[in-house]
Amino acid sequence: MSEGKFAGSSQLVAMVLASAALVISVASAVVNYRQNHLANLESSLRDTKDQLQLAHNEMSDMKLKTIQQLVDAQVAISGRDKLTEENSQLKEELDSAHARIEMLEAQVRSLDDRLSRSGAAAANKLPVVGKKEAALPAAAPAVDKPAAVAGRAVDIDIYTSRVSSTVQKKVADGLKAKGYAGKFPALPAGMGLTSATTVFYYDQGYKDEAESLVAVLGDIVGGRVILRKGTSSYPKNKLIVHLIGG
């Protein structure tokens, strides 16, 4: 009977141990599952963190590029404003230079007129010597320089701006009375006119004729007329007039 009790106790212990082993196995499996799950979560978190870092780096690069583009645009705008300012200053200097040239030309013409009058006055004061000189015909009355045009033909084109038909006829009649035959052709495309009435000559040999035309035009229009040497390849006897109205 004692042996039967001992055998029953052994079976009970074996069952308890088997149950404990099963519990331990189940617990171990649960722990392993949780550890694996946590490891997967940590891996996912690391991947997510890496992606966030990459996105942050890309945003930083884009920000730097945008800032650089804004700086470049600001530099370009500043350069354009500086060029505009320099262009304006150059234009003002050019206008001032033209004004000085016109003033100097007016002074030169005034000096030429004074010299011409002085020379004529000195010639009239020369004494008459001997009967032979007294027999010479009297000197012709002084006339404007256009009289010299009779011996040398000049080709005159007159381009007008802000000039009425009445003034144009007055100029044409006045020139004709002085021996000039001026034409009034249409203004060629792309040709610009001066801001004041100007006579252009294109050969040094015809400067006297141009000066004569300046004097005649000044008398007709009653204002200052500028004389300039042109650079275009016109014939030597060509004179171009820019007739500018008020």
Across 13-17, 82-86, 88-92, 235-239, the highest mean pLDDT is recorded for: 235-239
Return the pLDDT at 244: 95
Mean pLDDT value across the chain? 79
pLDDT tens-digit profile of 189-237? 888 999 999 999 999 999 999 999 999 999 999 989 999 999 989 999 9
**CA–CA separation, 66 and 44 (whole Å):** 33
Asked whether the beta carbons of 161 and 242 are under 8 A apart, the reply is yes
Residue 157 in this model has a pLDDT that exceeds 60: yes
240: three-class secondary structure by DSSP: strand
The alpha carbons of the chain give a radius of gyration, in whole angstroms, of: 54
Return the pLDDT at 121: 53
DSSP string for residues in 1-58: -HHHHHHHHHHHHHHHHHHHHHHHHHHHHHHHHHHHHHHHHHHHHHHHHHHHHHHHHH
**CA–CA separation, 178 and 144 (whole Å):** 9
Centre a 10 Å sphere on the Cβ of residue 156 and count the other Cβ atoms it contains. 20
Residue in 130, 116, 144 with CA at minimum distance from that of residue 215: 144
Q: Does 161 or 61 have the greater pLDDT score?
A: 161
Q: Does 96 or 210 have the greater pLDDT score?
A: 210
Return the pLDDT at 110: 62
Residue 25 in this model has a pLDDT that exceeds 80: yes
User: Does pTM top 0.85 for this prediction?
Assistant: no
Return the pLDDT at 130: 40
Residue in 119, 156, 120, 149 with CA at minimum distance from that of residue 212: 149
Range scoring the smallest mean pLDDT among 23-32, 101-110, 182-191, 213-222: 101-110
Return the pLDDT at 137: 41
Asked whether the beta carbons of 221 and 197 are under 8 A apart, the reply is yes
Q: What is the mean pLDDT of residues 79-96?
A: 76
Q: Does 192 or 78 have the greater pLDDT score?
A: 192
Write out the two tokens for 228.
């300039």
Q: What is the mean pLDDT of residues 94-107?
A: 68
At 86, give phi and psi (nearest 5°): -65, -40
